[in-house]
Amino acid sequence: MPRKKSPIAPVLQESVKTLISKARVQKRIKEVAHEIRRDFPEDTLHLVGVLKGAIFFLADLARELHGNVSFDFIAVSSYGEGTETSGQVRLTKDLDVSIEGKTVLLIEDILDTGLTLQYLLRIFQQRKPRHLRTVVLLDKPQRHVTEVRANYVGFTIPNEFVVGYGLDYAERYRNLSDVSILRFDRPRKK
């Protein structure tokens, strides 16, 4: 008798592999901070971090930006528990203070499809900042579905799902210091 296939899918094993080391991340953040300060030497820079993925990036970037800096946070939801965006962006936490007349740096962990930045830029532009610039640690150009491009980019990366340095999968892995590729493998047969 042929054996029936089990209707239960095997549990996939997650593994992470470093893509960008902690040292490279930190070195590049210094360079990006330098570029930003060169462009806005006198301004108080108002950093708006997109929760939660941008928290470490904002914290490290802020410390490399000499001169006056203030921050605020905004939260959106689009991913849920998976690795694919739902395509629907929703504001779940608004800013605490007005951005009118300020030099605003919108800080995102990653530019993937671009839908989140497109949505946020539309809202922010209506609020009349003096300058509005976008800063992303990672950019996945192969995934873009919008015309949105970031003004400052840490690293351009291939089309892989990445975790660490603030980025998560189902709220895990944010605390890794490196940026790592997350893979899902079938368990090896013993």
Q: Which residues are catalytic?
A: 112
Region from 19-27, 30-38, 77-85, 94-102 binding ligand IMP, contact rule CB under 6 A = 77-85
Tokens of 161: 């799902």
Question: Could you give the CA distance from residue 127 to residue 39 in angstroms, rounded to a whole number?
Answer: 22
Query: C-beta of 111: minimal distance to ligand IMP in Å?
Result: 5
Verify binding: residue 85, ligand IMP, rule CB under 6 A.
yes
Instruction: Indicate which single residue of 19, 25, 105, 111 sits in contact with ligand IMP (rule: CB under 6 A).
Output: 111
User: How far apart are the C-alpha atoms of 116 and 189, rounded to whole Å?
Assistant: 41
Task: Measure CA 31 to chain center.
Answer: 18
By CB under 6 A, tell whether 113 contacts ligand IMP. Answer: yes
Nearest to 79 by CA among 39, 50, 104: 50
Closest by alpha carbon to 44, among 65, 14, 23, 61?
Answer: 65
3-class secondary-structure state, position 120: helix
What letter represents residue 168's amino acid?
A: D
103 binds ligand IMP (CB under 6 A): no
The reply on whether position 115 binds ligand IMP by CB under 6 A is yes
Would you count residue 110 as binding ligand IMP (CB under 6 A)? yes
Residues between 23 and 42 that touch ligand IMP (CB under 6 A): none
Number of residues engaging ligand IMP in binding (CB under 6 A): 18
> Which residues here bind ligand IMP, judged by CB under 6 A?
50, 53, 78-79, 85, 108-116, 161-163, 167
